[in-house]
């Protein structure tokens, strides 16, 4: 198929033909010169932060600074046993760095798989190169769905329409002609062309805005925000409590300086929930690694959490519920049309588009091109128009103009002042084509109308007066995993909404095959205002004839009702909705523009991977909520003990080694396993409120019971060495209460959870039974009375704690 040179100037809203003579692009030598000069597109990889950033984020934290200073002081003035907490922090930080580095490697390897490879023309040959392989003055070819990766000037245009909404906010596509500027971050919605790169790397417009599309996809993480809020309040509580403790232990108490310093440090250290941030990062990192093994690229870590909180998922039919490919199953000629002639027209239309969509590709596969026909002018398909067209010079010298697209759009152009076609009004106006179309749509088949236009393509409404010639029937391939995935979402109380640009009846039939009941709604009948549209979306499930702008409006309408919305899609018509959704999910085979704005990319194009992402998010949210309770119970009782010690003017009951032992056995080791355990709990909002609802009463009960036991032991024991005996009794009480907190948090019990709690309890008994460990941790239970009194106090506290938490549960569920 040849294109003739279109020298005439056309209306700016209509297409032009691609010139016969194309520029050859740079030569190999010119490319080498530009690489040597550093004129390459060296924008940093967006997928993850560098190793330096990872180390810095894990090492240089506020609490690490506090603990580091205290560790140095303790190391200088106290036995090595009291410095164990510092080594634990080093180990934790190392684990965090290693896990995040593993996650980074996973992300980077997946990003390479899913990376777009623009086509550049060099030495007259079109070649795919990595985005980073583009050099200054490269001639870059673009077509529907391609993202403009560097700034440039349009060199060739064949009906080229570019959407710059991600940069300017203007949703209407901009028609580009040779000489017009194109900006990185925009994407092609229709037509094809080429542009010359004028700015690459960090000089490109989108790179200056913050590494291309990343500025448009800021995912809110309630976990991270909540933990930051908690740490802020913890800092406020720590400062006065620590100052009071320092004054009491170093000034009011007349103990040796080393012992006073050790007990002061022992009071400050447990106030710091040092492992909470670490475990959150590790949980996210391991989630990325697990999903990476399933070919799921998580471009932003909090997106794992975000999808778990989603209560509404909007699905594009084509490419999501159905596979990308289609097959032509029938050709119905209309009127006196000759089938052989119609086949020739369809073959010519297929050849006229250099970048055919799935429908046109099926037609290309079914009908060969006629070498005698030449394309004079073409009108590329766009989601807004819902049809394409071309003007041909036939073999006998005659010219004809043909349109191919949605039957209800092409046949609704006469006399419909409001833009509604006959099929929209519930009748066919006697048109057999529309009647046949509806019958086929009800079977879930896709139908395109071939019509001969009576107007030129550069007319404002070329479809008006078009004469129908044939119906092309296509069958879409349902994804084998779609029905199971939709069933999973229904079981999880996540509502599915199918939004498609296809005919509503056809979309409804496909949805029904997949188990989504309910009549399909034609989106052109939806209210234009947000409130009215939100009401319609609450009632219906399937929507057809949805324009790209309507998809975006639908996402906004659902969000206005308080819904957390995920949007899936693979086509350029899904980009605007993907950008505005709380979580955007793109197929790996989708357009470059959709992959750029989505937070999650399914590289294997499997819709069935989504439940895995939801499950991973729920695991992270549920488990971090559990372990946060453990850490913050410790923070609350530590602050309370410090306040009580200051008020009673007594020595702090613990040395750092005691609390290191308790923290390791009741929080550190168990929390690591609990944070990575399977967890299918539904994600619930208000993370901070839910955690503090349990941590505050738990910490108060543990702190009061421990201090009461300490005062009882002080009254009971007298003479030299009594402080060690008092500390041991208080340590036993606090350990037993903390173990009960762990036992409650570990519910519901499985064999490994029971084994975990039992192992921690057994480890403490070993410390008490082995003389060398008793000496190392300065634990010496003297007599029988106080140890059993400690057990009794701990039992009363545990019962009180259990009753309190049950009451909190009832209040929360009321």
Which helix (H) or strand (E) is 549 found in, with range? helix 548-560
Residue 680 φ/ψ region, left for φ over 0, alpha for ψ in the -120 to 50 degree band, beta for the rest: alpha
Residue with tokens 């080498």: 32
Using a 10 angstrom Cβ sphere, with 0-12 exposed, 13-18 middle and 19 or more buried, the burial of residue 256 is exposed
- Rounded to 5°, the CA angle 461-466-467 comes to 175
Active site residue 570: no
Catalytic-labelled residue, pool 163, 316, 522, 570: 316
Element counts in the chain: helices (H) and strands (E): 28, 21
Query: What is the rounded CA–CA span in Å between residue 579 and residue 567?
Result: 9
Cα(first)–Cα(last) distance of the chain, in Å? 71
b (16+ CB within 10 A) / e for 500-538: bbbbbbbbbbbbbebebeeebbbbbebeeebeebbebbe
Cβ-Cβ contacts under 8 Å for 9 (sequence gap 6 or more): none
Tokens of 520: 């399909």
Residue with tokens 């593993």: 102
Question: In 258-321, which ranges are E strands?
Answer: 296-298, 312-315
Residue with tokens 């190793």: 51
Cβ-Cβ contacts under 8 Å for 677 (sequence gap 6 or more): 619, 623, 753
Are the C-beta atoms of residues 569 and 329 closer than 8 Å to each other? no
Query: What is the rounded CA–CA span in Å between residue 738 and residue 417?
Result: 74
Residue 25 φ/ψ region, left for φ over 0, alpha for ψ in the -120 to 50 degree band, beta for the rest: left
Residue with tokens 């997928």: 47
Closest-CA residue to 76 (of 278, 300, 257, 304): 257
Helix 84-114 × helix 274-292 angle, to 10°: 30
Closest-CA residue to 110 (of 299, 308, 284, 366): 299
Closest-CA residue to 282 (of 109, 106, 103): 103
* Phi and psi, residue 401, nearest 5°: -120, 130
Tokens of 545: 């004839």
Closest-CA residue to 497 (of 561, 566, 584): 566
Query: What is the rounded CA–CA span in Å between residue 804 and residue 695?
Result: 11
Tokens of 276: 């909470």
b (16+ CB within 10 A) / e for 723-749: bebbbbbbbbbbbbbbbbbbbbbbeee
Query: What is the rounded CA–CA span in Å between residue 424 and residue 439?
Result: 15
Tokens of 113: 């798989």
Map residue 491 onto helix, strand or coil. helix
Are the C-beta atoms of residues 558 and 312 closer than 8 Å to each other? yes
Map residue 770 onto helix, strand or coil. coil
Are the C-beta atoms of residues 203 and 209 closer than 8 Å to each other? no
Are the C-beta atoms of residues 587 and 315 closer than 8 Å to each other? no
- 296-298 vs 600-602, strand pairing mode: antiparallel
b (16+ CB within 10 A) / e for 756-775: bbeebbeebeebbeeeeeee
Which helix (H) or strand (E) is 448 found in, with range? strand 446-452
Are the C-beta atoms of residues 409 and 384 closer than 8 Å to each other? no
Q: Mind telling me the catalytic residues?
A: 316
């Amino acid at each position: 198929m040849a294109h003739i040179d279109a020298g005439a100037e056309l209306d700016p809203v209509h297409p032009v033909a691609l010139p016969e003579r194309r520029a050859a692009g740079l030569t190999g030598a010119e490319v080498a010169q530009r690489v040597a000069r550093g004129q390459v597109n060296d924008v940093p990889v967006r997928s993850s932060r560098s190793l330096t950033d990872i180390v810095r984020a894990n090492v240089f934290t506020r609490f690490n600074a506090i603990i580091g200073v205290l560790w140095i002081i303790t190391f200088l003035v106290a036995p090595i046993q009291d410095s164990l907490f510092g080594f634990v922090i080093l180990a934790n930080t190392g684990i965090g760095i290693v896990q995040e580095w593993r996650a980074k490697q996973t992300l980077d390897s997946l990003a390479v798989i899913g990376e777009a490879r623009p086509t550049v023309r060099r030495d007259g040959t079109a070649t795919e190169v990595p985005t980073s392989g583009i050099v200054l003055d490269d001639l870059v070819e673009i077509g529907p769905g391609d993202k403009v990766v560097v700034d440039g000037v349009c060199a060739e245009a064949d009906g080229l329409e570019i959407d710059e909404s991600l940069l300017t906010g203007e949703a209407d596509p901009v028609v580009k002609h040779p000489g017009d500027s194109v900006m990185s971050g925009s994407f092609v919605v229709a037509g094809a062309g080429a542009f010359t790169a004028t700015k690459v790397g960090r000089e490109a417009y989108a790179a200056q805005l913050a590494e291309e599309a990343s500025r448009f996809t800021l995912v809110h993480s309630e976990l991270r925000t909540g933990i930051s809020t908690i740490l802020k309040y913890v800092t406020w509580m720590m400062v006065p409590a620590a100052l009071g403790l320092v004054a009491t232990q170093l000034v009011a108490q007349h103990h040796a300086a080393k012992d006073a310093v050790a007990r002061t440090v022992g009071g400050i250290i447990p106030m710091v929930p040092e492992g909470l941030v670490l475990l959150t990062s590790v949980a996210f990192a391991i989630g990325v690694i697990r999903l990476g093994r399933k070919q799921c690229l998580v471009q932003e870590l909090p997106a794992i959490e975000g999808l778990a909180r989603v209560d509404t998922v909007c699905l594009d039919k084509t490419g999501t519920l159905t596979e990308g490919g289609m097959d032509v199953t029938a050709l119905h000629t209309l009127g006196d049309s000759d089938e052989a002639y119609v086949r020739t027209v369809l073959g010519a239309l297929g050849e006229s588009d250099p970048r055919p969509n799935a429908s046109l590709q099926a037609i290309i596969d079914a009908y060969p091109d006629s070498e005698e026909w030449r394309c004079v002018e073409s009108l590329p398909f766009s989601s807004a128009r819902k049809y394409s067209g071309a003007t041909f010079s036939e073999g006998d010298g005659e010219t004809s103009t043909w349109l191919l697209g949605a039957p209800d759009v092409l046949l609704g152009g006469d006399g419909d002042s409001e833009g509604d076609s006959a099929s929209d009004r519930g009748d066919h106006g006697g048109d057999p084509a529309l009647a046949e179309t509806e019958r086929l749509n009800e079977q879930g088949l896709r139908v395109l109308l071939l019509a001969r236009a009576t107007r030129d393509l550069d007319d404002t409404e070329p479809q008006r007066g078009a004469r129908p010639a044939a119906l092309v029937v296509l069958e879409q391939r349902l994804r084998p995993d779609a029905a199971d995935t939709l069933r999973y979402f229904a079981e999880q109380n996540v509502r599915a909404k199918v939004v498609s640009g296809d005919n509503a009846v056809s979309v409804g039939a496909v949805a029904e095959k997949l188990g989504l009941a309910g009549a399909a709604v034609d989106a052109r009948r939806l209210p234009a205002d947000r409130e009215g549209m939100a009401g319609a979306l609450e009632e219906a499930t399937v929507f057809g004839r949805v324009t790209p702008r309507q998809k975006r409006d639908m996402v906004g309408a659902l969000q206005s009702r308080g819904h957390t919305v995920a949007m899936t899609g693979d086509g350029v018509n899904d980009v605007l909705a993907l950008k505005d959704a709380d979580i955007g999910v793109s197929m790996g085979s989708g357009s470059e523009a959709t992959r750029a704005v989505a937070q999650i990319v399914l590289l294997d194009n499997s819709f069935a991977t989504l439940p895995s992402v939801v499950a991973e998010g729920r695991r992270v949210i549920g488990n971090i909520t559990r372990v946060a309770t453990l850490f913050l119970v410790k923070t609350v009782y530590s602050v309370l003990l410090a306040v009580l010690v200051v008020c009673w003017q007594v020595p702090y009951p613990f040395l750092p080694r005691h609390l290191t032992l308790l923290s390791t056995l009741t929080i550190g080791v168990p929390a690591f396993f609990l944070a990575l355990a399977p967890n299918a709990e539904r994600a619930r909002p208000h993370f901070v409120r839910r955690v503090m609802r349990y941590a505050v009463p738990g910490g108060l009960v543990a702190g009061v019971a421990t201090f009461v036991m300490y005062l009882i032991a002080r009254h009971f024991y007298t003479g030299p060495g009594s402080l060690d005996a008092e500390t041991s009794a208080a340590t036993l009480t606090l350990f037993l209460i903390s173990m009960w907190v762990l036992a409650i948090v570990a519910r519901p019990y499985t064999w490994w959870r029971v084994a975990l709690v039992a192992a921690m309890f057994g480890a403490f008994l070993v410390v008490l039974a082995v003389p060398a460990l008793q000496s190392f941790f300065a634990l010496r239970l003297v007599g029988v009375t106080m140890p059993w009194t400690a057990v009794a106090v701990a039992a009363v506290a545990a019962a009180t704690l259990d009753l309190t938490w049950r009451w909190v549960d009832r209040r929360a569920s009321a």
